[in-house]
Amino acid sequence: MSEPLAPFGFADVAREDKPRLVAGVFSSVARRYDLMNDLMSGGVHRIWKDIAARRLNPQPGEVIVDCAGGTGDMARRLVRLAEAARARRGGAPASVAVIDYNADMIRVGRERARAAGIGWVVGDALALPLPDAAADAYLIAFGIRNTADLAKALAEARRVLKPGGRFLCLEFSKPASAALARAYDAFSFNVIPAIGARVAGDGESYRYLVESIRRFPDQAAFAALMRAAGFAHVGWTNLTGGVAALHQGWAVGGA
């Protein structure tokens, strides 16, 4: 029987090798990761993340998993919103657990985000270091396509959520129009690796990231994977014409 494969950019690699290869990509770019996000998107990623954080609607006392949250860019948003809700309603502080496979990304995140309410854990999205039904909400932003097994990552998210828990996934997706898709491809393959080479000193890692976007399932296919993992009321919202999509679902009943 042949060894299971996973996509690594446009290549297929042994599933067990992908975590190591992806770790190398993010270790290389960790220090410049947030700056590169601004340069690649013209700052639009900040708007997408604000939309995702508001949709998650963090509340006082909740336990929230920010999976693949490395530098804490999303976690800081979640804590701010939870604290604003706490100022209005009272209650206990929320707890945001940033879980990321890459120790270098976690290290950068700890240095930059010293906000109370954020915990930092080096951990695997395919084997989360949490008990069953531990979290009120789970969010993964631009990280799930880097896992070696989408179905297993979704199953783990479902496992750690309480009944009624919220799942959100912000990820690059498929543009809704052919014209936008052509323009996006031209920018992605010609400009992003060049920016990566100049700013982060690593054009190849950013070529991988562009290729990984093209290998990711479209909106409907990813929604089907979510349903198969046990999520209910599954849907998505296209952002910037489908360049990104915000997927959501709810954990209903037992895992």
In the DSSP assignment, the letter for residue 121 is E
User: Quick one: which of 146, 168, 201 has its CA closest to 50?
Assistant: 168
Q: Report yes or no: 183 and 158 within 8 Å, Cβ to Cβ.
A: no
In the DSSP assignment, the letter for residue 229 is T
Its sign, for the CA torsion 3, 215, 229, 23, is positive
pLDDT at position 31 is 87
| Rounded-to-integer distance, Cα 17 and Cα 149, Å | 12
H helix or E strand, kind and range, residue 135: strand 135-141
Mean pLDDT, contiguous 10-residue spans, the chain (255 residues): 82 94 91 87 95 98 96 94 96 96 93 81 97 98 96 98 98 97 95 90 92 96 98 98 98 74
pLDDT at position 255 is 56
Q: Report yes or no: 71 and 104 within 8 Å, Cβ to Cβ.
A: no
Q: What does the buried/exposed string (b/e) look like for 167-204 if buried means 16 or more CB atoms within 10 Å of the residue's CB?
A: bbbbbbbbbeeeeeeeebeeebeeebbeebeebbebbe
Residue 9 belongs to domain spanning: 5-251
Cα 123–Cα 169–Cα 117 angle in degrees, nearest 5 = 55
> Parallel, antiparallel, or unpaired: how do β-strands 11-14 and 161-172 relate?
unpaired
| Domains contained in the chain, number | 1
In the DSSP assignment, the letter for residue 52 is H
pLDDT at position 80 is 95
pLDDT at position 254 is 58
Specify the amino acid at residue 77: R
| Rounded-to-integer distance, Cα 182 and Cα 187, Å | 9
Digit-coded pLDDT (tens) for 190-242: 999 999 899 888 899 999 999 999 999 999 999 999 999 999 999 999 999 99
pLDDT at position 1 is 45
- Burial class from Cβ neighbours inside 10 Å (0-12, 13-18, 19+) for residue 65 reads buried
CA distances from 154 to 84, 223, 226, 255 (A): 30, 11, 7, 12
pLDDT at position 32 is 87
Its sign, for the CA torsion 12, 191, 36, 29, is positive
Q: Rounded mean pLDDT of the chain?
A: 94
pLDDT at position 112 is 80
* pTM (global) more than 0.85: yes
> Parallel, antiparallel, or unpaired: how do β-strands 161-172 and 135-141 relate?
parallel
Could you tell me the CATH number of the domain that includes residue 38?
3.40.50.150
Digit-coded pLDDT (tens) for 170-199: 999 999 999 999 999 999 999 999 998 998
pLDDT at position 53 is 98
Report the length, in residues, of the chain: 255
